[in-house]
Amino acid sequence: MKRYLAISILLIISWCSYGLTDIPALKQRVVDTTNTLTSTQVLNLELSLIEFEKPRTDGAQIIVLMIAKLENETIEQYAERVFRTWEIGRKGLDNGILLLIAKDDRRMRIEVGYGLEGTITDLLASRIIREQLTPQFKQNNYYQGINNAIIALKKALANPEEQEQNRIDDLKAAKYAEDYSQWVVISFIICFIFSHLAFKSLIKRALVTGILNGISISGFELWNGSPLLEQPEFFLMNFISSAIMCFFIYGFLFLTKIRINRNDDNNHHSGGSFNGGSGGSSNSFSGGGGGRSGGGGASGSW
């Protein structure tokens, strides 16, 4: 019985891992299975990461991996598997970072170990992807993008003032996102009610709601420092989405009214007896140091 159980477990494990993306051996800090980077570029990045590790006593690591494409899994799932297999960072401190690029899929991720999630926050990782990696990758400047991202990560990890500023920026961004969400909802409700009371035509109601809500949200963006040149785009986007939402709401109300009227008609035309229902219930590289990832970080595409 034990033999059959062991065989069953092995079969299940084999089935679950079948067809997943291969994890290459960790022989250096920069692993490029696509041969996109030249040997000189790999060496430069490697030296930059050695420079980061040398003065530190906590065993923190930054590892770069570039693969061609993913097989039957998301970049988040693969990044977590790689992190767990390579054990990036020091055991107990979990202070590793994995910069993963799936070139043909045009996907990338910064996976952050448990111990660095308070420093390299999801918002900061997302900002590095958006500002350092994406612009360069769009121009096929993979080396420059990776180098820029490494510099940004090293700066954030080395400078306490930078860490504090990043924390403040993240708090501001979170507060802005919360205020924006509330403003969008309240603004739409007010504009919708006004248009409903002021006009009888459904088209006029939708258009006026879209215009007023577009102006309102663009004003909010402008008040919070968004560039003036971006406002026409914000207005158009919110105008269209608000008008569509109006048609959706009125369509829903119309169908609900028909259903209610139909039920009323059925109740009038049918009498009934009640039939009871039924009841019921050093420069040399020795690999990772035993670190773990908590799933923190950010993903992106280009």
pTM of structure: 0.55
Tokens encoding 117:
């999630």
pLDDT digits (tens, 9 = 90+) for 30-77: 999 999 999 999 999 999 999 998 888 888 899 999 999 998 899 999
Looking at per-residue confidence, does 297 or 198 come out higher? 198
Whether residue 138 is predicted with pLDDT greater than 90 in this model: the reply is: yes
Average pLDDT, the chain: 83
How far is Cα 199 from Cα 50, in angstroms, rounded to an integer? Answer: 68
Tokens encoding 235:
């207005």
Amino acid identity, position 32:
D
Report pLDDT for 163.
61
pLDDT band at 224, cuts 50/70/90?
confident
pLDDT digits (tens, 9 = 90+) for 84-135: 999 998 888 888 999 999 999 999 999 999 888 888 888 899 999 999 999 9
Reference 53, options 163, 166, 157; nearest CA is: 157
Boundaries of every domain in the chain = 24-158, 167-260
pLDDT digits (tens, 9 = 90+) for 234-268: 789 888 989 899 888 988 888 888 888 777 666 65
- The CATH number corresponding to 24-158 among 3.40.30.10, 3.40.50.920, 3.10.310.50, 3.40.50.720 equals 3.10.310.50
